[in-house]
Amino acid sequence: MNQLDDSLAANKPLEDVADSLKLRLIKIPAIDAQGMFMEKAKVEPFPAHEEAMRTAFGLSAGETSQVIEDKKGNYVVVRVDDVMPSQVRPFDKVKDLVVRAVDANRRAEKAAAKAEEIAKAVREGKKLSAFAAERGIEVRYSKPISLLGEIDEKLPRSAYPQIVKMKQGDIITAADADQHYVLRLSDVHQVDPTQTSANRTKVIDALKNDLPIETAEQYELSLHQRTPVRIDQELLESLKKQGS
């Protein structure tokens, strides 16, 4: 971290910093505030993805962020190479994007309906394994998960708040960007009271990582409420180009 901070303070290019410190460098194509790519490209989610995207839209062209930390101990630095003023794009430029978006929405609607159909059947007594032979459906047991850091990377993170409220045997549906899920809570493992030291350590570590970040977020929210600020990015870029 010290080497990274020193390199950023010295205004070294991120490419050189990543090379010298053996860090992962990710180049993202043009993207809008809704997360839509302007080109036919797809960037897989990476650690601190949401924090990085949120930070990027607060930067000006050529500006590099400070080190950002997410709530899982990952660190990222963001640089914006260029900012394109918002504009209505010519139809021939967006036609393919529109067609793909419509197709994706239709597939998502069909998948959501199928997930609800399966969930209803399972609630009525049909076994999940009965659907295993159907095309595009995978039936599997997830890894045990908990609020102390144990996760299953194949489960949608957006479903975790629902999962931890489920009772044994409950069935819910969930979705991420690419798939729909039918989730049944098959078993609940109670915390072993004889293993309190390990669990206490996990709680302490989580508090050390999360509490400062959440405190800072609440402080920032309070400042925004007291002193509302709106940035006119297009005007700012126009003034910069004029040398202001």
User: For the segment 132-176, what is each residue's pLDDT rounded down to a tens digit?
Assistant: 888 888 888 888 888 777 788 888 888 888 888 899 999 999 988
- At 196, the pLDDT band (50, 70, 90 cuts) reads low
- pLDDT tens digits for 35-49? 666 665 666 677 777
d(CA 167, CA 157): 18
What pTM value is reported for the model? 0.47
Tokens 């095309």, residue? 135
Question: Can you give the residue ranges of every domain in the chain?
Answer: 2-84, 91-184, 197-244
Give 172's strand partners. Answer: 183
208-226 confidence digits (pLDDT tens): 777 788 888 888 878 877 8
Largest separation between any pair of C-alpha atoms in the chain? 70
